[in-house]
A and B are shown apart, each in its own frame.
Chain A
Amino acid sequence: MGTTELVRIDDLGVRRGPFRLEIPTWSVEPGQVVGVVGPNGAGKTTLLESVAGLRPVGRGRVSVFGLDPWEEPTRVRVALGFMSDDMPLFAMRIDALLRTVSGYYPRWDAQLVVKLLARFEIDPTRKVHELSRGQGTRLRLLLAMAFRPRLLVLDEPAGGLDLSGRRALLDVVLDVVRDPERSVIVSSHQLGDVERIADRLLVLSRGQVVRQGSCSELIEDGQTLEETLLRWGAA
């Protein structure tokens, strides 16, 4: 434990209707890519929303950059990029949307935006509601990354992406963690992608932690993440 941790969770308890998420302890260090995996209803989205300050915790403590994300959402979100496939976007032209959103981030990187627009093949003159699902996902990803957040939280980022989109996503995530001060938390059902980029794993099932640790510790030689999760009953 130290002040360098980007995320620190102690004795977390979150209720969402009848569902309850319990995480005794968990942390994310700078420079890490952490994969959160588990079956549907495991609590991945609840955990990521709690980290992003979108959901209050019932018990315990969540700390992001040493701050409580629920109590101080503004200070946390200027350095935390959250991307979820079901987050609505304002229906305007993409260039107008980027201009609008950029005003909220003092560290907005206009050059990175131009680079990502080209990388994700997004035409800024199109309107948001004209985009396909996959293009919408790419735009959401771009918005989450454009201000160079210290922590990037991606909830099912590969939804609707084709093969080239997924490759671009993985490359971009790897680009982010070239900076040793920045980290990525990614939840996905694309286990192959998670296995490829993640340093550490948090495996959840029915709101409980099944395993956590580095990929090399958790996945035995010669096995895939999918086979490992099946063995633990968390696929």
Chain B
Amino acid sequence: MLTIGRHAWLRAWAVLTSPGDLALLVFAAWSSFFAWFFIFVSGYRLTGPMTGPARPAFLGFVVVTLWFWPWAVARPLQGRSTGGDAPPLPALPISWFRRALAEAVTGLLLVLAIRALTVTILTGRLFGLEEPASWGLAAQGGDGLLGPLFEFIVVSSRVAHGAAVSLLVLPVLLAWSAPVRSQGVLLARSLLVATLGGCLPAILAEAPDLQPLHVILAIAAGTLLLSVLATTSFESARRRKPQFFRSGPGPLTRPGLEPARRFRRDRWEPHLRSLRWFVAPAFALLVGGSLLFVYTTRWRIAYPLCIGLAVGLLTRFYAAPLGADVFATDLHAGSASPQGGAYVRAWARLPVPPEAVVRAVYLHGLASASIVWLLWAGHELVAVALGHWRWHAQLNLPLLLGIPVAAGLLLCTSVGDHFKRTLSALALASFLPAHFAALTLPSALTGVEWSPRSIAALDLGVLVSLSVIGGLPPLVHLRGRETIPEHQPG
């Protein structure tokens, strides 16, 4: 217990003294005001007033929010030991389970503390109200979702809700923290756990008789088992078998070309490979999930699962050729941090101009984000053509503005610019919530029906601002030659 406490303190201190990590944790705490609400308010009650196409659109938003929320808590906790041969923390005198537990508890406690602090400041300092009075204020705001939401935010700043949410979030954090040798296994395991967690509101929406706590317990047990099973020892046993199937050495050389010409050819090759391995299966999942949702009642639950897996594949596609995935890496960076410019450093040994590498990364970001958007839009066009989800076109078109932000995030990751990377990541993560809020909040907050044109103008303003904040600063890296990023320990 003492060991767990000591490690938790060390991790907390590390997060609190790192501005980027702290910002991400504050973002996680604030976004939890929405995410937790969806967990505790039964999906049936949540979507009950909604009918027709709005319901799946809203559920989709909820799933995405729940899916990303645990990532935002887990990312600042850098204690995971994955990839390479020099994981920094396993050398500590603490078992992996205790370490992972300490990190998960630290993350959740910090989130709870930031939540409580935020609510106290909002109610006490800004509104000058005691808490019961602020409930009244919430009730006044109260059409549709906002009344219960405000009420929930005030009540849930207490630890009791945090303890219950921990049951759902803990497995995701453990899946992130548990040791694993292969980045691919880490990604697959974490995606699966997060996807299962993201299914929760859909389960509750489709099965109103179920109690949220029962569903939370069932999902927590399943995902916890998955996290524990897919650890290094399990993986080592699995790894020994493929030796038998390993093929002999392939050709060791290919024709040497003038380096710039070779690079121009090589940079498009991963795209073509990725189309086959990631984009085509993702498209099949999206279309299959939509058809199941539209044409069946029994298998609707498969929809969020398909969406989760497709999002995982598309994320991998977005970052695959770069080798600096937001979650994992395809680089053997040794003790270097994958986010610390390792990609540009890996190219630096070759006779390729660094500015060409950086430009290629940006172009890949633009192209892959555009393909992801087109794919998503295509799957929804299918649904609209079948007479469902007309809302989705309204939701998706403005998300085009997120493409330069996604490209900027990739660019900053490749050159190891932590500040601009955090800025782009926050802007990108805010896109969907801000978009949804701009569409729904104005009328709900003011009690006046806004004209569609006014709402569209507000929405566009918010999204253009996010696009500028997240997409413009990274462009400084395209201006010219830069020093190769320093070696940054992981």
Contacts and interface: CB of A to CB of B under 8 A. Distances in A.
Interface in A67-107: 70, 73-78, 82-83, 85-93, 95-96, 98-107
Contacts of B251: 95, 99
Nearest to B338: A88
Given A74-B260, A86-B335, A89-B332, A102 B253 contact: yes
Contact of B349 (A87, A98, A114, A136): A87
B404 interface: no
B84 interface: yes
A157 B100 CA distance: 36
Contacts of B331: 88-91
Given A73-B351, A74-B352, A86-B487, A99 B85 contact: no
Contacts of B52: none
Contacts of A125: 246-249
B334 A136 contact: yes
B330 interface: yes
Contacts of B209: none
B334 to A, nearest CB: 6
Contacts of A55: 483-484
B358 interface: no
Interface in B440-490: 481, 483-484, 487
A174 to B, nearest CB: 23
Interface string A22-34: 0000000000000
B484 A104 contact: no
Contacts of A102: 252-254, 256
B170 to A, nearest CB: 29
Given A56-B481, A90-B346, A104 B262 contact: yes
B335 A106 contact: no
A129 interface: yes
B258 A91 contact: no
B262 A103 contact: yes
Contacts of B483: 54-56
Contacts of A65: none
B129 to A, nearest CB: 50
A143 interface: yes
B268 to A, nearest CB: 14
B354 interface: yes
Contacts of B342: 88
A128 interface: yes
Q: State which size class the interface on A falls in.
A: 35 or more
A136 B487 contact: no
Most B C-beta atoms less than 10 A away, residue of A76, A86, A102, A104: A104
Interface in A94-136: 95-96, 98-108, 110, 113-114, 124-125, 128-129, 131-133, 136
A97 to B, nearest CB: 9
A216 to B, nearest CB: 34
A49 interface: yes
B385 interface: no
A38 B342 CA distance: 27
A144 interface: yes
Nearest to A128: B332
A74 B354 CA distance: 9
Given A54-B483, A90-B331, 17 more contacts: A73-B353, A77-B259, A77-B349, A88-B342, A90-B323, A90-B330, A90-B346, A95-B250, A99-B250, A100-B254, A104-B256, A108-B253, A113-B252, A113-B253, A124-B252, A125-B246, A128-B332
19 contacts: A54-B348, A54-B483, A56-B483, A74-B353, A78-B259, A82-B348, A83-B349, A86-B335, A87-B346, A88-B343, A89-B332, A90-B330, A90-B346, A99-B254, A100-B254, A104-B259, A110-B253, A125-B248, A129-B85
Interface of B: 83-86, 182-183, 246-260, 262-263, 266, 323, 329-336, 342-343, 345-346, 348-354, 481, 483-484, 487
User: Which 10 residue pairs are nearest across A and B when measured between Cβ atoms?
Assistant: A77-B351, A106-B256, A88-B333, A86-B487, A88-B346, A124-B249, A102-B253, A88-B342, A54-B484, A110-B253
